[in-house]
Structure 1
Amino acid sequence: MQFFSTRNAGSRVSAAQAIVQGLSSEGGLFVPESFPQADLKTACEKASYAELAAYVLGLVLPGYPQEFVAEATEKTYGEAFQGKAGYLRPVNKDLYSLELWHGPTCAFKDYALQIMPKLLVKGKELLGRSELTYILVATSGDTGKAALAGYQDVPGVKIAVFYPSHGTSQVQRLQMTTQQGDNVAVYAVKGNFDDAQTGVKKVFADQELGRQLAEQNVCLSSANSINWGRLAPQIVYYFAAYRQLLEQGRIQMGDAVDFCVPTGNFGDILAGYYAKRMGLPVGRLVCASNRNNVLTEFLKTGHYDARRTFYRTTSPSMDILVSSNLERLLYHMCEDTEKVSGWMEELRTQGHYQVDAQCLEKIQEIFSAGCTDDEQAAEEISAMFQDNQYLCDPHTAVAFCVAQEYKNETSSGAPMVVLSTASPFKFPGDVLKALGQLVPEDEFEAMRQLAAHTNVPAPQALASLQGQPERFDREIEPEQIREIAKIL
């Protein structure tokens, strides 16, 4: 199995090349030419998350030695995840929470970004490449810290993270600006996440810059979900959720399971689509958006329109208007790189595009969508805690709202798994307020009060940020990302 660009099917690369390169030269995203089929019984018989990950990743990373994959997954998903890798928690009746925040940075990005550096280093070895790799990362909050933690002091790699100034929680910002390591850098970008992401994409598409860096024996790569190495590990936890439902006797082998995913860049939910294409009995994939509901509108109408007001919300990791991974889905639906290139050019030049009726029909056979605002998310946080003794963050609350709305509208009897993407203690002030408590100005005091009020301990990785010196305080314009890439 090889990979090719969503905008050019003629150029085929290996899995290692797709991961090392990150983005295709003309700006497209790498997609697999076919989908390997998992043996569901074999997958569900794996004794640990690491073994399941080795099996699934062995299918979607052709060319990587199986012994390497098994060793990498064993090292990645052990102690760092506190024995709760892919942990599925019942909430009520047919509603479940797939808690993906028990890793070292308390967000779902850890599942990919703890193993991705190993994939990059091995990929370079497989390709016989020894150049220095510059990794550029745009983040709406959680990817930045997870990438910094994963790539800290990895030989042959330098990494720069760009986050929207005033677009993250204080805890998210401190996770990045206090990061240790000799090969890391962090910059606040004036504007929103889309400004940062566009700036990074322009660097990758800059052929002249690419030539200049190549002359210095440097190549660019990405740790965002535009990189196949970020997306592939996320497929695993859909299988993990299914396995646990089987173990709990909630389903029989082959029964369908619905998933609701809070998403802004469309990577996490796309991984669920890939799991479905690999044979996992996924029923509906429900896309949950906050007030920046560009994806909800698209999935219902086929019209993608980024020309809208951008809102800062209590779920900042979803404050995105240009969802990069949607491009991959568009290709899989129409299998026409020229169409995809045309739509992406319309988005770039006009700010919107409309897919054809046939493409939209195929999308709607698989995906549903809904959105909710901050007030509704806060009410959901309160209701979840009062009714189910379940504490969740604002992103997960958005998904719970949308999931229950979907179930009410469809009367679906299938289990609904909500992907819980971040610890509630990443957003202690918003969660505390939602629970009807007075919120102190200091987020760490809010963290302490939230723990006391709920009797849920705050993760040490977050509580220990208080008082740590901030190493990075530079604010830049989006246009300066190119210059930083030249001198990283």
Structure 2
Amino acid sequence: MNFVSTRGNVDKIGFIDTVMMGLANDGGLLVPEKIPQIPAEKLNAMSQLTYQELAFEIFSYYVNGEIPEHELKELIEKSYATFRHPEVTPVKKVKDQMYVLELFHGPTFAFKDVALQFLGNLYSYVAKKTGESINILGATSGDTGASAIEGVRGKEGIRICILHPHGKVSKVQELQMTTVHDESVLNLAIEGTFDDGQRIIKELFADVDFKNKYHLRAINSINFVRILAQTVYYFYAYFQVNKEQDAETVNFSVPTGNFGDIFAGYLAKRMGLPVGKLIVATNENNILEDFIRDGIYKPGEFRSTYSPSMDIQVASNFERYLYYLVGENPSEISSLMDIFKREGKIVVNEEQLRQVKADFAAHGVVGEECLQTISKYYTETSYLLDPHTACGVAAYEVCNGPSEVCVTLATAHPAKFNESIERCDIKQTFPEQIQDLFNKPQYLEVIEADKEEIVRHLKKLFN
């Protein structure tokens, strides 16, 4: 198993080098040279595995022996021992043929824990093997930051800096990041949007000299390991639902901001999992819905919504999908990304748009629709959705066929977004771990969304 860049100017590299490179040195994203195919008989055998056993099977296709089997199993066991549910990502039936996949049982109550607990342990494993210090730099629209910090805090040889948009994340998300008092953790609240932070991060990683000098490593979903770890729960959910439904295919509705979680589903489908529709659920920042409908990818005006973790205009992982859409042609990807940088949009042809519509359905949840969905499901089923999962359920209602089985990815615990839950006149009880956050002091610095200012802080942390 080798990995290549979507833009074609990185030599083929192995799994560990892919983890450490994060963003490809040519500015592209790393993808497997060839997507492994899992035959039907192997899928049938895998359906009986625990979550941890399933993760080992799927990871093994990509790790390709670079981590000894017993050590890979130990990394997986250690990563998911922190989850509050024995199944790690349990599937709950909400009503006939409609399920939610609960991805919020990790330490920070968000789906990002599934990947970042593993990636944190993997970085620690590599640091111990090589003796190399690891400096992690990431941007967050809310959940990645807390999950990343929780994944690496206290691990020898690792320091981490997280950028988040000041005042544009929920209070619980902010507290989860900024109440960590550790000399190896730096929280920078930028006066701007997540897109501003993500752009600066990409610029810093694209500066290969700076990246190498300061041993910068990626925690955002530009790192392929994030995608790989998230692929596992699509397999797990399909197997659990199919034991009850015996469905030929299962649809997935996915709250989507940076296109990483939905791309993990696309990868699972390409590997051979019988996935039907992949439903892209967005909010008013609906650049992806526009693309799936019209074939035009063009960022619009940023909007703050009830689902702040999806308040993203430029989706990092979209380039990975484009790579497969254009037939794995890196020169065409380089050309498209140059056009995007120059003109601010990407337009695909009619044949490509037909393929996009075959791969995805989409619905942008506008205005009060998110809150109405929370209220409706709480009243009718007593199941409390967080606002991002509510967008996924609203998209399921629009895009799913009457006889089709669908799993909506429940991406966060509702306690993380009480601002939206309160608007529905619903009172919820906070888990103890979240309630305790309100009594802790915060540690953060508020700065302008300026690359040089951020570099100045990084040098102080990493030197």
TM-score normalised by length of structure 1: 0.90
Q: Deviations over 1:434-477 (max 9, x none)?
A: 2x35xxxxxxxxxxxx22xxxxx422221110110112233332
- 1:236 and 2:237 correspond: no
Secondary structure at 1:36's aligned position in 2? coil
**Map of 2:208 onto structure 1:** 207
Cα distance in 1 between the residues matched to 2:341 and 2:206: 13
Task: State whether residues 187 and 473 of structure 1, in contact with CA within 8 Å, keep that contact through their aligned partners in structure 2.
Answer: yes
- Aligned partners of 2:284 and 2:303 also within 8 Å: yes
Equivalent residue, structure 2, for 1:143: 144
Q: Indicate whether 1:70 and 2:79 are aligned.
A: no
- State whether residues 370 and 402 of structure 1, in contact with CA within 8 Å, keep that contact through their aligned partners in structure 2: yes
Give 3-state SS (helix, strand or coil) of 2:121's partner: helix
Aligned to 1:331: 323
- Further displaced range: 258-267 or 363-372: 363-372
1:309 matched to which residue of 2?
301
- Structure 2 counterpart of 1:482, from 443, 451, 455: 455
**Could you give the per-residue CA deviations for residues 351-409 of structure 1, whole angstroms, max 9, x where no partner exists?**
211122332222221111111123000000000001111101110111111111112xx
Q: Which amino acid aligns with 2:411?
A: T
Contact 1:153–1:182, Cα closer than 8 Å, also in 2: no
**Where does the alignment leave 5 or more consecutive residues of structure 1 unmatched?**
438-449, 452-456
Output the amino acid matched with 1:173.
E
The gaps in structure 2 that reach 5 residues or longer are: none
Q: Count matched residues.
A: 455
User: Given the alignment of the two structures, is residue 95 of structure 1 paired with residue 98 of structure 2, yes or no?
Assistant: yes
Distance, in Å, in 2 between the alignment partners of 1:41 and 1:246 is: 11
Q: Cα–Cα, structure 1 residues 257 and 220, in superposed 2: closer, same or farther, change >3 Å?
A: same
In the alignment, the residues of structure 2 paired with residue 478 and residue 18 of structure 1 have an alpha-carbon distance, to the nearest angstrom, of 28
Partner of 2:118: 115
Shift of the 182–487 alpha-carbon distance from structure 1 to 2, 3 Å rule, reads closer
Equivalents in 2 of 1:478, 1:394: separation in Å?
31
Counterpart in 2 of 1:58?
A: 60
Q: Distance in 1 between matches of 2:125 and 2:3?
A: 18
Q: State the secondary structure of the residue aligned to 1:322.
A: coil
Could you say if the C-alpha distance between residues 16 and 256 of structure 1 is closer, same or farther in structure 2, counting changes exceeding 3 Å?
A: same
SS class of match (2:302): coil
Give the match for residue 28 of structure 2. Answer: 28
Q: Deviations over 1:80-134 (max 9, x none)?
A: 33324111001111111101001110000000000102222334566xx433221
2:284 pairs, out of 282, 285, 291, with: 291
Equivalence for 1:340:
333
1:399 aligns with 2:401: no
What is the distance in 2 between the residues matched to 1:163 and 1:353?
27
Q: Under a length normalisation based on structure 2, what TM-score does the superposition of the two structures give?
A: 0.95
Measure the CA separation in 2 of the matches of 1:36 and 1:137.
Answer: 29
Distance 1:220 1:114, change over 3 A: same
Tell me the distance in 2 between the aligned counterparts of 1:225 and 1:319: 16
Classify 1:276/1:109 alpha carbon distance in 2 versus 1 (closer, same or farther; 3 Å): same
2:5 touches 2:24 (CA, 8 Å); kept in 1? Answer: yes
The question of whether the paired residues in 2 share the 8 Å contact of 1:203 and 1:209 is answered with yes
Q: Displacement, 1:141?
A: 0.3
Residue of structure 1 aligned with 2:404, choices 406, 410, 414: 414
Q: Is the 8 A contact 1:16 1:124 kept in 2?
A: no
Residues 373-384 of structure 1: matches in 2 within 5 Å?
Answer: 373-384=366-377
Partner of 2:432: 460
Q: Which moved more, 1:147-156 or 1:470-479?
A: 470-479
Question: Separation in 2 of the partners of 1:352 and 1:375?
Answer: 29
Name the CA shift for 1:18/1:10 in 2 (closer, same or farther; >3 Å).
closer
The 8 Å contact of residues 19 and 123 in structure 1, kept in 2 or not, is answered as: no
Distance between the aligned counterparts of 1:262 and 1:61, measured in 2?
A: 28
Matched-pair contact (CA < 8 Å) for 1:231–1:271: yes
> Secondary structure at the residue paired with 1:269?
helix
The answer as to whether partners of 2:258 and 2:315 remain within 8 angstroms in 1 is: yes
Asked whether the 8 Å contact 1:152–1:182 carries over to 2, the reply is no
Identify the match of residue 422 of structure 2 among 432, 444, 449: 432
Q: Partner of 2:35: helix, strand, or coil?
A: coil
Runs of 4 or more consecutive aligned structure 1 residues displaced over 3 Å after TM superposition? 121-126
Aligned-pair identity (%)? 37
1:85 to 77, 83, 88: 88
What is the distance in 1 between the residues matched to 2:222 and 2:167?
A: 24
The answer on whether the counterparts of 1:108 and 1:422 sit within 8 Å (CA) in structure 2 is: yes
Contact 1:203 1:481 in 2 (8 A): no
Once residues 323 and 235 of structure 2 are traced to their aligned partners in structure 1, the CA distance between those partners, rounded to angstroms, is: 24
Aligned residue for 1:447? none
SS at match of 2:438: coil
| Residues 89 and 97, structure 1, Cα contact 8 Å, conserved in 2 | yes
Amino acid at match of 2:105: H
Q: Deviations over 1:250-294 (max 9, x none)?
A: 125xx1000000011000000001111111100110000000000
Change (3 A) 1:42 1:181: farther
CA-CA distance at 1:9 after TM superposition = 5.7
1:246 is aligned to 242
Secondary structure, in 3 states, of the residue corresponding to 2:252? strand
